[in-house]
Structure 1
Amino acid sequence: MDDLVNDNDDGSDEVNKEVVRILKQASEEVINSVDLSSQQLRFLPEAFGKLTSLIHLNLSNNHLQVLPDSIAGLVKLEELDVSSNLLESLPDSIGLLTSLKILNISSNKLNTIPESIAFCKSLEELYASFNNLIFLPTNFGFGLINLKILSISLNEIRFLPTTISELESLKYLDAHFNKLHGLPSLIGKLSNLEVLNLSSNFSNLTELPDTITNLKNLKELDLSNNQIKSLPESFGQLQNLTKLNLDQNPIVVPPMEIVMEGTEAVKGFMVNWRLANIAAEEQRRVVENDQNQGGWMAWGTNMVNVYLGQGVCMNTTFVLCKSSTQHAHGD
C-alpha cells in the first residue's frame, strides 16, 4: 500500500494517503460506497479495480485525465460520478460495468463516448452535458434498453444517431445548446418520452420531422432559440403536451398571436390547420379530376368537329368514315 503514496505524481501526499486508506480498508472489510470528490486527484490507481463490492463511486471535481482499464473490475458498481474532471476519453472497458445504473460524465473534455457503452445494459441515467461531443455512438440505442434519462446538452452534436429511436424506456432527453441540424425521422418511436429539450440549437435547427407528433406521452417540449418557422401539420396530435416553449423563433405557423395564447391554443390551431389543409387538398383533387375529364371531353368534341367537317358519319357506337374511294363507287 505504501507504494501507492510513493507513486504519487501530483505533489499531494494527503490525497494519495486517503486513497491508500480506502484500499486498505477494503482489504479488511466490505466497502459499498466511496466518495473521493474534490480531492485534487490526478490519477486513480489500478488497484481500485479490486474493490469488487463497490456500488457507489464518486470521483467528481478532481483533475483526472484518464480512468484505468481496471475499472471494469467493479462488477457490482451501480453509480459512477466522474463529473468535473479533465477526461478526454473513457476506457472501452467501461462497457463491462453491466450493473451500472447511473453514469455522470458531465463537465469534462470528452470528444466521444465509446461504443462499448451500449453494453451497459442496466444503465438508466446518463449525464454527458458540457463536453466536446460531436456525435454519439452509432450503436447507441441498441443496448441501452433501460435508459430513462439522457442529458447531452452543451456539446457540439450535429446529428443524433438513428439508433436513438431504440431507447424504448427513455423519458427525458435534453439536447439543448448543441448544433443539431434536425432529428432522425424515427424519433417518433420514443413512445415513453415525456420531456424533450431542443432549445438553443440556434440557426442549425429549422424544422421538426412530422414523426415527432407520434410522441404520445410527451408533456414538455422546449424549442426556444432556434430558427423554426412552422410546426408539423399534425402537431395537434400531441394530446398530453402541457408545456411548449417557442420563444425566439421566426414562427409563422401557428401565428405568433396564437403562440402567445399558450400551448392549448397552439394545439387547437394546428388541429384546425390540418383539417383545413386536408379539405383544401381534397378540393384540389376534385377540381383536378374535373379538369382532366373536361379536357378529354373538350378534346373529343374538337376531334368530332374535325371529322364531321371531313364528311364523317357517326352513330351511337361507331364512327364510320366515308372515304373518297367510296364516293367514287357511287356510295
Structure 2
Amino acid sequence: MDTLAQLRAGRLAGAQRLALPCGLTEFPREIFALADSLEVLDLSGNALDSLPDDFGRLHKLRVLFCSNNRFTTLPESIGQCRQLDIVGFKANRIRAVPSNALPPSLRWLILTDNAIEALPVSLGACARMQKLMLAGNRLSALPDSMASLQSLELLRISANAFETVPSWLLSLPRLSWLAVSGNPFCERAEHDVAASTAIPQVDWRRLALGAKLGEGASGVIYQAALGAKDGEGQDGEGNGRKRPVAVKLFKGAVTSDGWPHSEMAASLAAGLHPNLVSAQGQIKGHPDGTDGLLMALVDPAFRNLAGPPSFASCTRDVYSPDAKWSLPAAHRMAQGIASAMAHLHAHGIVHGDLYAHNILFEADGTALLGDFGAAAMTGSLGVAQSLALQRLEVRAFGCLLEELAERCDAAGPLPDGLQKLAKRCLQLDVGARPSFSELETALAGASV
C-alpha cells in the first residue's frame, strides 16, 4: 500500500514525517489528522498550486517542502505555522511573496528558480534567518529591512537582475557564503574576461569518456582520456597517445548557486594554482551542444574533507565522526587554501562557497579547493565593494580554521597564533578582517 493510501486509511497515526510525491493536484486534508505529531512535510514533485487556508492547524510543523509544484504565490497560510524552521518552494512559478507568508521563526528559506521580482519588508523580522536561497528569480533589489538579519550566514542571489550589491549587505556581521554571479554587474565582468583571456579549446572528438566520478547540481564529472591533436604525440605506428583527464559536462539549468555558464567562466578565469581543482580548457563540439570543462584528474588518494551541511547544522559542514589529522597536516591545509583564495581574489574572483565539503585533501595535508558553482567575477564593482566581498569569505575561512582545530589529534588546540588568526577572521567588523594575502603570509610564518 502506498503512502497516500496509508494516510487515507488512517494507518499513519503519530507520524512525524510525511512525504507524498504522487501527482497531487489538491492538498489531502487527511494530513490534518497528524496535526499533533507531524514535524516534517514534503509535498515536492506534485501539481499543487495552493495550500488550505487553515494550514496553520499543523501546529508542530518545523519543515515544509513544496518544490517542483505549480504555486504562483507563496501561500499566506504557512505564516500561521509559528514553529516553521525550514521552508522550501524551489522550482515553482512564484511571482508574489505576501508579507504574512513568512513566519518569524524561519531559519532557512528556499525560493530558488521562481519568478519573484520583490520581497516583503516582513522578511527583516525573521531574526533567526541563517540561510536564504533566492537564485534564479527576477530580483533587482532587496528590502532594506534585511539589514537587521544579523544571523544571516549564507545568501544566494545569483541569476537575478542586480546592477550592484546592496551596500548594507556587505556589512552583515556573520555573512560568509554569498553567491552573486549571473547578475548584470557580474555578467559584464564575465564578458570582459572572456574577451581578454586566451582559453584553450578542446575538441570533443579528442575525448574518450570513461566512468562517472561524481555529480553536482550544475553538472556531471567523468573520467576521460584525451587524445593528441592530429599529427602530435604519435607513436611509431601513428597512434595518438592519450592522457587521463577529468571532464565536467554542464546541465544548463539554473541551480541553487546560479547559472552553470557563470561557473564555467569563473573556472576558466581562475587559471592554474597548485591548491585549486583548476580548469585546463573549454570543450567544444559536443554533439548535443553541451558546455564542458577539461580538468586535471585528481589522484584517488584525495578525499572530501567533510560533507555538506545538514538540516540540523544549517550552515556548517558535517564531518565524519573519525575525522582526525595531525597538527602539521591541519596547518598545511589551512595554508594551501589561504594561498588558493589569495590567488582567486588577485584575479578578481570570489569563490562564494568556501566550505570543507568543497575541499579535497590527502593525509599529509595537501588540499585542493574545487566547485566554482557559486563563484563570481567582481571586475565591474568598485574597489570598496570588491574588498568587502573578499572579507566576507575570510569569515568562512575562520569557520574552516575552527573546524580544523577541533579535529587535530594533538594533545592541545592549534598553536596560539593560529587561534588568534581564526578570531581575526571571525570578528564581526567586516572591514577589520585580514585579507587572504595577509593570511597566507601569517600561516607561512607560523610554527607548528
Taking structure 1 as the reference length, the TM-score comes to 0.58
Distance 1:169 1:139, change over 3 A: same
Distance 1:226 1:20, change over 3 A: same
- Cα offset, 1:242, TM superposition: 4.7
The one-letter amino acid paired with 2:34 is L
Of 90, 99, 103 in structure 2, the residue corresponding to residue 115 of structure 1 is 99
Distance 1:266 1:151, change over 3 A: farther
The one-letter amino acid paired with 2:134 is I
Structure 1 counterpart SS, 2:155: strand
Aligned to 1:130: 113
Kindly indicate whether residue 264 of structure 2 is the aligned counterpart of residue 264 of structure 1: no
Q: Deviations over 1:210-260 (max 9, x none)?
A: xxxxxxxx994766267615321792796563599xxxxxxxxxxxxxxxx
Distance 1:131 1:171 in 2: 22
1:83-232 to structure 2, matched below 5 A, reads: 83-118=67-102, 120-142=103-125, 144-203=126-185, 220=352, 224=376, 228-232=380-384
Kindly indicate whether residue 203 of structure 2 is the aligned counterpart of residue 51 of structure 1: no
Structure 1 counterpart SS, 2:54: helix
**Contact 1:182–1:205 (CA<8 Å) still a contact in 2?**
no
The one-letter amino acid paired with 1:134 is E
Distance 2:89 2:385 in 1: 38
The one-letter amino acid paired with 2:130 is K
Distance 2:439 2:381 in 1: 16
Kindly indicate whether residue 19 of structure 2 is the aligned counterpart of residue 35 of structure 1: yes
Aligned to 1:282: none
Pairs aligned (count): 221
Structure 1 counterpart SS, 2:120: coil
Structure 1 counterpart SS, 2:168: helix
Distance 1:236 1:109 in 2: 34
**Contact 2:7–2:30 (CA<8 Å) still a contact in 1?**
no
Taking structure 2 as the reference length, the TM-score comes to 0.44
Distance 1:205 1:73, change over 3 A: farther
Aligned to 1:256: none
Unaligned runs of 5+ in 1: 1-13, 208-217, 245-262, 269-331
Over aligned residue pairs, what C-alpha RMSD do you find?
Answer: 3.4
Q: Deviations over 1:169-210 (max 9, x none)?
A: 111001000001333332245211111111110258889xxx
Distance 1:21 1:205 in 2: 50
Q: Deviations over 1:24-55 (max 9, x none)?
A: 426x7312111102x11111134433421210
- Which protein is richer in strand relative to its size? 2
Which stretch of the first structure deviates more once superposed, 175-184 or 78-87? 175-184
- Cα offset, 1:94, TM superposition: 1.1
| Overall identity of the aligned pairs, in % | 24
**Contact 1:235–1:267 (CA<8 Å) still a contact in 2?**
no
Structure 1 counterpart SS, 2:184: coil
Aligned to 2:387: 235
Kindly indicate whether residue 241 of structure 2 is the aligned counterpart of residue 69 of structure 1: no
- Cα offset, 1:159, TM superposition: 0.6
The one-letter amino acid paired with 1:19 is L
- Which protein is richer in helix relative to its size? 1
- Cα offset, 1:77, TM superposition: 0.4
Structure 2 counterpart SS, 1:19: helix
* Larger RCO (CA within 8 A; separation ≥ 6): 2
